[in-house]
Amino acid sequence: MGIVGSSPRYFYTLVFLLLFSLNPILVAGDDNSHCDNNPVYRKVLIKNWVNDKKHEDIIGVEAKFGTQPPADSSDALKRSAFLSNPLKGCASSSSKFVDSVVLAMRGECSYTDKAKVAESSGAAGLLVINENEELPQMVCTENDTSLDIKIPVLMISKSAGESLMDPLASGGRVEVLLYSPDKPIVEGSVVFLWMMAVATIIISSVWSGADARNQDPSDPGFKNEDAEESVELKTSSAIIFLVTASAVLLLLYFVLSKYSIWVLVVLFCIGGTTGLHACIVELILRLFKGCGEFKVELPILGEASILAIVLFPFCAALAIFWAAHKNASYAWICQDILGMGMMMSGLRVVKLPNIKVAAALLCAAFFYDIFWVFISPYIFHKSVMVEVARGTKAGGQSIPMLLSVPRFFDPWGGTAIVGFGDVMIPGLLIAFTYRYDKLTQRLNLKGYFLWLLVGYTVGFIATYLALYLMKGKGQPALLYLVPSTLGLIVILGLVRREMRTLWSGIEMPSNSDDEEA
């Protein structure tokens, strides 16, 4: 419900296309002393102290040769760090670095030559400083397949290297500790993320189901005036989605920058404010049915309820606060609140009429996710979806169209995320099953709604399990969520011999004859 009571159908249709196109996606071994050009990255944490003062941990990437640091920091030793002389580390040094870690700049000779020189000087480890912020993996040459290096060799970024080199160059003392902890299979942030996603779907489904039922016309405070403003998708929507979403994603891949990402921030603030406002107004109207009776006539805007007018500035203030502090450690809370409100309102407005349309849309999204994550690197040399989701060209600023929770209990830190599309696309199908169960008077497991919530949970778990098994390589969540929801309802429909009814759908009660868009 907007301030002026105008229909949000066109706004949410456009927002849905944008959200779908911005669907973000959601290292180990025993002995690597011999050369092994396996492409899997293994990251290493580098604790460091400058003049006995603890500094922020540095992340490095292990070479495909050399030994691996221990998995537990208690098993690792704190060692002094020294600069290689010469700095490139390609020639033997007159200095001996017994039981120390050597820092060398990248260039002039191969990584394996640097490792041999460092090891011959008695070093206990080698940190190679890259020329930029990227962390390419150090691999062996064709002549080094039998190489036997007994020290850990790591690549660190230019800025990280400078943070260690500068104090050493000025006579300071630097100490480092290298270890590579395993990522936990289950982390609390992932559970909390799942709870937010499921809560969004459940509330949206109940809200959508309430809109499908005729309200009592004698009760204006409880009557949902926007129930007639829903957008009922057609089969052709799948093709429109596939083409439009791909075009938007490609556009962002080529033009995304620190400045253009603010366009997405503004759109997110508008959608988040509108969505959260609609959710709060609806909740208050259901708790206090008479609140919607008090209305005023505004110039230009027309008639609006006093409740909507009072609440709108608070929702807008939250969005503005988030935009001003979007890089703060606590910004994820505001982003998730706005995002959940936006998705709930979107799932309430946009509806699926039957499984036929659901199958077309979810299958299109299924192949869309797979293509732009796994196949696009063969065309564009990089995964288009991953690059846009990470905001690589925007200075690492990620797009706001996602739910995120910091990994508080993960030694690697970071953030657990799920894209809006990973909630909304399966959510459309689950919301349909809720309305279907209500109209057919199905209860509990005799219906389809609870089963699809279980299926969504299974797909969600499978996504993060695949992420863990693939050592953090980006995974298209819909690869797992579509089979676990759409596949499940098809199986249940066939077993119950109700597939024909599900395929054509049951006509939903409505106050409007114009529901198709």
Which residues are designated catalytic? 369, 422
Q: How many residues does the chain have?
A: 517
3-state secondary structure (DSSP) of residue 400: coil
Q: For the chain, how big is the Rg over CA atoms in Å?
A: 28
Cα 286–288–293 angle (5° rounding)? 100
| First-last CA distance in the chain | 19
In contact, 139 and 113? CB cutoff 8 Å: no
Q: Where are the alpha helices (DSSP H) in 288-415?
A: 306-324, 331-349, 355-370, 377-380, 384-390
Distance from C-alpha of 284 to C-alpha of 1, rounded to nearest angstrom:
12
In contact, 396 and 257? CB cutoff 8 Å: no
Q: Rounded to whole angstroms, what are the CA distances from 220 to 2, 294, 344, 513?
A: 17, 11, 23, 21
DSSP assigned state of 372:
I
Distance from C-alpha of 513 to C-alpha of 216, rounded to nearest angstrom:
19
For 198, other C-beta atoms within 10 Å of its C-beta total 17
Distance from C-alpha of 389 to C-alpha of 405, rounded to nearest angstrom:
16
Helix H or strand E segment including 460: helix 449-469
In contact, 427 and 204? CB cutoff 8 Å: yes
Parallel, antiparallel, or unpaired for β 174-179 and 79-83?
antiparallel
Find all residues with CB under 8 Å of 346, minimum gap 6, and list them: 12, 15, 16, 19, 275, 424
Cα 214–349–269 angle (5° rounding)? 140
Q: Rounded to whole angstroms, what are the CA distances from 105 to 68, 71, 88, 157, 338?
A: 21, 26, 5, 10, 45
Distance from C-alpha of 54 to C-alpha of 51, rounded to nearest angstrom:
8
> What's the token pair of residue 92?
């033997």
DSSP assigned state of 104:
E
